[in-house]
């Protein structure tokens, strides 16, 4: 196949609140000319920007172009919960224990975190946006506590440390009496995701990478010896194309009917004033993932990260058309308000300032697509919901492959099976959403 056309472009529902908190970005540089490049990266999320950084390390004199459909940090990169997790975090399991070689995955996740840390230091990104504070798996029920205990045993078998917190310690941390236990693990980095991603993009620009925003790629094709990458108002003639568009890989006709186009939802309070903070108590920064992977993630941030606020994340919907519907967001917003009120009855009814949906991409068998698609076309896509770390890794892998470089990261992804084929439509959407609702119901208060 030597010609690819983007059938669908990203469509966002609700604001990318993490980016809004940081204030306006400098005006976008849009591609409005025909230019040349050695490497053209499509998509400027965790994967695309990590690919660009890895290319600058491997081929410092190469001409690197990044084309982003919207603004940097306004896609999923500015819509997630910001947990850059080192440990197994298998969303399809009951307790996050992975089905594969967890030791190898932990080592790779830590490579991703080290790669990001180096960028933070080199580009002088605000350390508040990359806070190595660890996280807690909160359990609200006896079943959740059982998950936490089984996960702790699994971690111990891998030689990983964790600490079980009792209800009082959870209360002192979060100000919420909702949790009956919490499993603290120290290795997660809590990102201000938009701050990190914007800082990464700015650093790359300083290193000579040309980042074009509002420059959606409509297609690319082989012409003569080069690939011609088209946007609405410009084109790049390039030696190699790196696709880091996450689920939009399928928009280009790659891995069709094998990628689960999932939307997650989140909500953020307004800035809490002194009186509201006194009502909550607890610590100014913490992150709690649910002991049941289909439960609710909660996070508190402080002024260093965008104001004293609480973020709630819950609900999921599979939308093969690659857009969450207004009804999806309305429903999720109602559920998120209920989850927030349940955890913080002292603030019950506090209206959220921001509510949004974000796109992520999973495969049925939990694999990524980080490999060569055809000569000089590479993919660093499909993060299975863990895109802060996995996206960093797939971006590194795609860049390394594009330079003909092999590492344990490229070998890891190349050894993975292809994504499994999904059931046909409409069964895929109906079936998956029924299962998601059931799992949501089963997670109950978690
Ligand atoms: C509510 C929510 C909470 C989450 N929480 C976490 C978490 O705590 N930890 C974690 O690890 N992950 C989390 N995730 C998942 C994480 O955000 C994603 O896995 C991650 O953003 C994927 O990174 P990526 O670079 O592969 O893709 P993306 O961040 O989606 O970046 C792809 C980019 O490609 C661009 N693009 C697409 N098509 C084109 C085109 N034709 N031309 C040009 N550009 C294009 C898009 O605009 C986008 O910016 C969460 C996601 C959501 C929605």
Question: Residue of the nearest CA to atom 2 in ligand 1?
Answer: 80
Question: Residue of the nearest CA to atom 41 in ligand 1?
Answer: 217
Q: For residue 144, what is the domain's CATH number? A: 3.50.50.60
Predicted TM-score (pTM) of the model is 0.96
Given ligand 1 and candidates 40, 66, 75, which is best to mutate, with the most ligand atoms within 8 Å of its CB? 75
Count of structural domains within the chain: 1
Task: Show the domain range for 91.
Answer: 3-443
List of residues 6+ apart from 107 with CB closer than 8 A = none
Kindly list the protein residues whose Cβ atom lies closer than 6 A to any atom of ligand 1.
6, 9-10, 42-48, 67-70, 75-77, 79-83, 216-217, 244-246, 248, 264, 266, 313, 358-360, 383, 385-389, 391
Question: Residue of the nearest CA to atom 19 in ligand 1?
Answer: 387
| Residues, the chain | 446
Angle of helix 387-402 relative to helix 102-122, nearest 10 degrees, comes to 80
95 pLDDT exceeds 70?
no
pLDDT digits (tens, 9 = 90+) for 11-26: 999 999 999 999 999 9
Neighbours of 34 (CB within 10 A): 11
Sign of CA dihedral 345, 350, 354, 359: positive
Question: Residue of the nearest CA to atom 18 in ligand 1?
Answer: 387
- Let me know if 351 is exposed, middle or buried by CB neighbors in 10 A (0-12, 13-18, 19+): exposed
99 pLDDT exceeds 80?
no
What's residue 92's pLDDT?
65
pLDDT digits (tens, 9 = 90+) for 346-390: 999 999 999 999 999 999 999 999 999 999 999 999 999 889 999
pLDDT digits (tens, 9 = 90+) for 120-134: 999 999 999 999 999
341 pLDDT exceeds 80?
yes
Mean pLDDT over each residue of the chain, to the nearest integer: 95
Q: What is the pLDDT confidence band of residue 1, given thresholds at 50, 70 and 90?
A: low
What's residue 438's pLDDT?
84
- Let me know if 42 is exposed, middle or buried by CB neighbors in 10 A (0-12, 13-18, 19+): buried
∠ Cα 384 386 391 (to 5°): 90
> Does a cis peptide bond (omega within 30 degrees of 0) precede residue 426?
yes
Q: What is the pLDDT confidence band of residue 211, given thresholds at 50, 70 and 90?
A: very high
From residue 174, how far is each of 170, 226, 268 by CA, in Å?
Answer: 6, 55, 16
Q: How far apart are CA 22 and CA 231, in angstroms?
A: 28
Sign of CA dihedral 313, 314, 317, 320: positive
């Amino acid at each position: 196949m030597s010609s690819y056309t983007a059938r669908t472009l990203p469509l966002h529902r609700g604001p990318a609140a993490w980016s809004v908190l940081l204030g306006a970005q400098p005006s976008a540089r849009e591609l409005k000319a025909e230019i040349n490049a050695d490497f053209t990266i499509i998509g400027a999320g965790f994967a695309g920007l990590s690919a660009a950084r890895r290319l600058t390390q491997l081929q410092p004199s190469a001409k690197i172009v990044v084309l982003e459909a919207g603004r940097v940090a306004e896609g999923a990169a500015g819509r997630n919960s910001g947990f850059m997790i080192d440990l197994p975090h298998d969303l399809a399991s009951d307790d996050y224990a992975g089905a594969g070689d967890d030791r190898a995955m932990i080592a790779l996740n830590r490579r991703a975190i080290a790669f990001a840390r180096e960028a933070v230091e080199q580009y002088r990104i605000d350390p508040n946006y990359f806070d190595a504070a660890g996280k807690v798996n909160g359990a609200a029920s006896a079943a959740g506590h059982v998950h936490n205990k089984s996960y702790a045993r699994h971690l111990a078998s891998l030689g990983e440390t964790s600490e079980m917190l009792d209800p009082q310690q959870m209360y002192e941390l979060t100000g919420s009496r909702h949790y009956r236990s919490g499993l603290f693990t120290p290795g997660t980095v809590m990102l201000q995701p938009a701050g990190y991603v914007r800082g990464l993009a700015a650093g790359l620009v300083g290193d000579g990478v040309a980042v074009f925003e509002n420059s959606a790629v409509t297609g690319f094709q082989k012409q003569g010896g080069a690939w011609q990458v088209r946007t609405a108002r410009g084109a790049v003639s390039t030696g190699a194309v790196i696709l880091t568009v996450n689920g939009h890989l399928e928009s280009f006709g790659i891995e069709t009917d094998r990628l689960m186009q999932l939307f997650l939802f989140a909500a953020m309070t307004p800035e809490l004033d002194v009186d509201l903070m006194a009502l909550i108590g607890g610590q100014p920064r913490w992150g709690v993932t649910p002991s049941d992977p289909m439960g609710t993630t909660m996070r508190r941030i402080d002024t260093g990260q965008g104001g004293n606020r609480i973020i709630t994340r819950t609900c999921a919907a599979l939308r093969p058309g690659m857009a969450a519907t207004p009804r999806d967001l309305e429903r999720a917003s109602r559920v998120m308000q209920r989850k927030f009120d349940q955890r913080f009855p002292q603030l019950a009814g506090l209206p959220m300032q921001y509510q949004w949906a974000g796109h992520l991409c999973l495969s049925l068998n939990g694999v990524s697509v980080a490999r060569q698609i055809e000569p000089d076309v590479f993919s660093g896509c499909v993060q299975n919901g863990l895109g802060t770390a996995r996206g960093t890794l797939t971006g590194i892998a795609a860049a390394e492959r594009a330079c003909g470089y092999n590492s344990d990261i490229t070998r890891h992804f190349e050894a993975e099976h292809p994504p499994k084929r999904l059931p046909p439509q409409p069964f895929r959407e109906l079936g998956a959403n029924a299962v998601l609702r059931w799992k949501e119901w089963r997670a109950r208060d978690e």
